[in-house]
A and B are shown apart, each in its own frame.
Chain A
């Protein structure tokens, strides 16, 4: 079984987010990590590969600065990697690039994270599936495969849904699917020599563009209420905030 796992390179969850002249994200001093949901997807792909046999390839659309995290994915256990050498500014563009690379190899299962924690679109997986004409299960919390049939559980409003889907398909992984692995020494050593292919992008079809950034308005200072007078809180929620 051939797995392709899409990994994006995102600021660490504790990063301070600032912008340069409201025009661009200011990456200086920011530590980048593999998007946490993508690590979950990667781990589940590795577990399934170990059980069923096959290969796990990771792909990233990004500049050369993302290579340390691609190597990390190889250290965690992926067999090989592809980097499409382009700035990932638009989900449609990213999905198009991954689709082009995927067409060159027939993958059985393509996994992404539920969403990237930078642009929070949650859209690369469905777009990719549409471009490849494949079914897609989004926000999946469980994935099991027997033969060419997968059983998947996904989150829905107010519960979960169990689905079946045949390979090939696309899936976006939510927490719960696997516990992310930490690379060990052997993995780190072997990652250095695993193949990392760099591809140039196919076309430049971008449909959207972030033209302005700002930080959310600072919160007003908290209004403290005497713990012996909680009626005051109820009053404020009713009269001032008007929510009860």
Chain B
């Protein structure tokens, strides 16, 4: 009996969300009395494949095929489902990334395996099999019972820790059967967003809103982000007027993020904004209005003028880094 984990890679490299998914799979496998088989599609080095053993994978099924270097949802889902059948899987774990969102539903249908999309914790119990997730854009939590024999769990990145131990996984090459019909989408071009840290993967995000008055004032936001190794984000009106690019806009109509630290500068904290950031582990709010609604959602707050507070904060972070290196 096994638990299948889709171990996603980006141009041959794993990321933290991959290790989270494998760690999550290992813990779920323990609950089910099963072992973990990771499925890797793409050109990942043998050494990296074996290293998934550190996070609890016993075996890795490696699929190498030059037609599969970019995500092809039908083919990828077919591979994951075939691996699940071959391994007698009781559960399939997929990280709820952009790729995961394209795949989880397909895998669930192929295996008739009920899906918890966007799980935030380990299964509460395995009999009945229930898993917690958020609902109503973070304004509610629900426990979802999965009634099918096989379960699919799409685990939200940054909601489960990486458990690194020792060990090496055995690597097996896997040749699934694929047909032309599995290649319905053809990738023409991949456009990388400039910017140093990718917003959806950032552990720290520095975000600013209309309180900053104009695009010319974003220098200090970028500098604070750089000092913290953070990504930058913004509120919707800021993107709408073109002070910042739209791909930085977080909130209900923008990107949803859940970093370890979210620093909101000159953002009022409208409910639609909070919907995109309320999963952040720690929220810091800097706002000149002590009545700003964002303070109710914040862990730490500074009531003050951003144009004074942020430069001071940059200096304080620099000092901290100097004394901790």
Contact = CB atoms under 8 A, between A and B. Distances in A.
A136 B298 CA distance: 39
A238 B284 CA distance: 13
Interface in B186-204: 186-193, 198, 200-201, 203-204
Contacts, number: 269
Interface in B290-305: 295-305
A135 B73 contact: yes
B299 A156 contact: no
Interface stretch (B41-49, B128-136, B215-223): B128-136
Nearest to B73: A136
Interface stretch (A121-129, A181-189, A191-199): A121-129
A117 B144 CA distance: 17
**Interface footprint category on A:** 35 or more
A123 B104 contact: yes
Contact of B148 (A13, A131, A207): A207
A161 B189 contact: yes
Given A117-B252, A133-B181, A237-B282, A138 B101 contact: yes
Given A135-B74, A155-B98, A120 B261 contact: no
A120 B200 CA distance: 17
Contacts of A41: none
Among A14, A117, A206, residue most surrounded by chain B Cβ atoms (within 10 Å): A117
Contact of B271 (A13, A151, A228): A13
A166 B186 CA distance: 10
A211 B115 contact: no
A163 interface: yes
B136 A11 contact: yes
Interface string B299-325: 111111100110011001101100000
Interface stretch (B28-36, B60-68, B106-114, B160-168): B106-114
Interface string A204-244: 00111111111110011011111110110110111001011
A72 interface: no
A91 interface: yes
B300 A214 contact: no
A135 B106 CA distance: 10
Contacts of B136: 11, 17, 25, 117-118, 120
A36 interface: yes
Contact of A233 (B73, B246, B300): B300
Interface of B: 10, 70-71, 73-74, 77, 97-99, 101-106, 108-110, 112-118, 128, 130, 133-148, 181, 184-193, 198, 200-201, 203-204, 228, 246-247, 252-254, 260-261, 271-272, 275, 278, 281-282, 284-285, 295-305, 308-309, 312-313, 316-317, 319-320
